[in-house]
Every structure is written in structure tokens, then in C-alpha cells.
Amino acid sequence: MSGLFDLSGSVAVVTGGAGLIGSSLCEALADYGATVVLVDVDEAAAEDVADSIDGEVSVKIVDTTSQSAVEALFEDIVDSYGSVDTLVNSAYPRNENYGQRYEDVSVADWEENIALNLNSYYLTCHTATTVMKQQESGGSIINLGSIYGVQAPDFDVYDGTDLTSPVEYAAIKGAILNFTRYLASYLGDDGIRANVLSPGGVFADQDPQFVAQYESKTPLSRMAAPEDFKGAIVYLASDSAGYLTGQNLVVDGGWTIK
């Protein structure tokens, strides 16, 4: 049974691999034998993450909103490793104004932030699946969603703090769910699976009042740690999920059941 989770010999590309969640996903995939290609725009952070992982990890500094850069990335990966077996989209590109309250978001910022993120997902998925379609083994696409792609934000958890849930985030994460379902339906005949991993709120030294308010609404009474998503990413990338596609795996401590 343990062999179902073995990723030895596979190549996993993780965008945003130097991020809070992405770094944990890279570690989990490497722990189970995958060769990990860590893609990020922050070279120093990416190198630090790669150095901390006991496994085969290569770092690629790439802007995933650039078509030419993404195409060159996957050409390089195929030249170096011969395949692309898993793509994990964990990057979250955004502009300098991202994070404003609803009343303050301009149409220009709305358009730019949605375009940056969804274009990044489309470019990487489209380019990776072009490679996967030529492989007998197909491949696995795993896009990072969110609980706020499944349901509306609970703004009570932000009371008394300077934090909010940006309106662009809800639109982006909701779109990712149906984009991934589209990929699953369209690419199934090519042996390509596409699923979403939707995290709940992750602890990152936020305002203590926010943390307390968030945790009070979670059945497990805590925010997530990055390590909480390791099992889910290995499952979705491995043969243990070989008959799973078009699904949204929500890892949220029970947040969405309340």
C-alpha cells in the first residue's frame, strides 16, 4: 500500500515554492521521492528553502505571469529531466495595492490583480499540459484554491483589526475551482488529472485578535500550519489518487462545515 504514495522518478514543478505553503509542499513532494523544481521570483528565499530540503530540488527564478518565461521554463525542465509529472500552482502574483478594503479597490487594481493571478495559472497549466499530453503517463495538475473560493468570507473574524479579505481573492479563488474542473473534463482522455487543494487560514503571526476570532469558528480550534497540507499534496500527486480528478480537497480544520 505504501507504494501508492511513492513519487520516485517523477518530476514535480511547484510555483511559489518559496512561500509559506509552497515551501512545505516542496518538502513533502521531495520527501516522497519526487524531483522538485522550485519556481519563484525571490531567489534568496528559494535558495534557502531548497537548501533546507533533504532531497533533489532545483531552483528556477521565473515570473509566471510572463508567457515567454513560462514556456522557457518548461522547455528547460523537459531538457533536464525528460518529463513533467506534477504541476502545483502555489504562486500568488499581485500588485503593490493588493489587500485594500472593498470600498478602496479601483477597477484598474481589480483588473490587474485578477489578470496577474489567473493568467499565471493558465500559462503554467496550458504549458505543462502540452508536455503531459505527449507522455504515456499523463500527469497531475494541483491548483491551490481557498476556503474563500468555496464560500463567502466571514468578515466577523477581521473585526477590530486592520486585516480584510480582498475582493479580488474571492473572485480569483472561485475562478480557479471551475478552471480546474474544466481541465479535468477536457484533459481526462489524455490521462491528465486536475484537482484543487483548498487550504483554510494559515497562521503567519497575524494580529492576535484575528487569530483568536478565526480559531473560535474552527472545529479544531486552531489555524492551519503549513505542514498540515503535506499529506494532501502527496496524495493528489501520487497514484493513490489515480482515479480522482476535478475535485476540491478542502483542508481547513472543519471551517467550511459551520
Q: 31-41: per-residue pLDDT in tens?
A: 999 999 999 99
Quote the pLDDT of residue 194: 98
Q: 206-255: per-residue pLDDT in tens?
A: 999 999 999 999 999 999 999 999 999 999 999 999 999 999 999 999 99
Q: pLDDT confidence of 258, banded at 50, 70, 90?
A: confident
Q: 143-171: per-residue pLDDT in tens?
A: 999 999 999 999 999 999 999 999 999 99
Quote the pLDDT of residue 3: 86
47 to each of 39, 77, 79, 153, 194, how far by Cα in Å?
10, 18, 22, 34, 28
What is the domain count for the chain? 1
CATH, residue 200: 3.40.50.720
CA distance 40 to 18: 6
Q: 92-123: per-residue pLDDT in tens?
A: 999 999 999 999 999 999 999 999 999 999 99
Q: pLDDT confidence of 2, banded at 50, 70, 90?
A: low
| Whether this model's pTM surpasses 0.75 | yes
Angle between helices 107-132 and 167-187 (to 10 degrees): 20
Q: pLDDT confidence of 7, banded at 50, 70, 90?
A: very high
Quote the pLDDT of residue 69: 98
- For residues 10 and 56, the answer to whether their CB atoms sit within 8 Å is no
The three cell numbers of residue 40 are 519563484
- For residues 256 and 147, the answer to whether their CB atoms sit within 8 Å is yes
Q: pLDDT confidence of 172, banded at 50, 70, 90?
A: very high
Q: Any idea what DSSP says for residue 143? A: E
Quote the pLDDT of residue 4: 92
CA distance 159 to 238: 41
Average pLDDT over residues 199-210: 98
Q: In the predicted model, what is the mean pLDDT of the chain?
A: 97
Instruction: Residue 69: give the domain boundaries.
Output: 2-257
Average pLDDT over residues 122-139: 97
Q: 54-73: per-residue pLDDT in tens?
A: 999 999 999 999 999 999 99
Quote the pLDDT of residue 89: 98
Average pLDDT over residues 182-201: 98
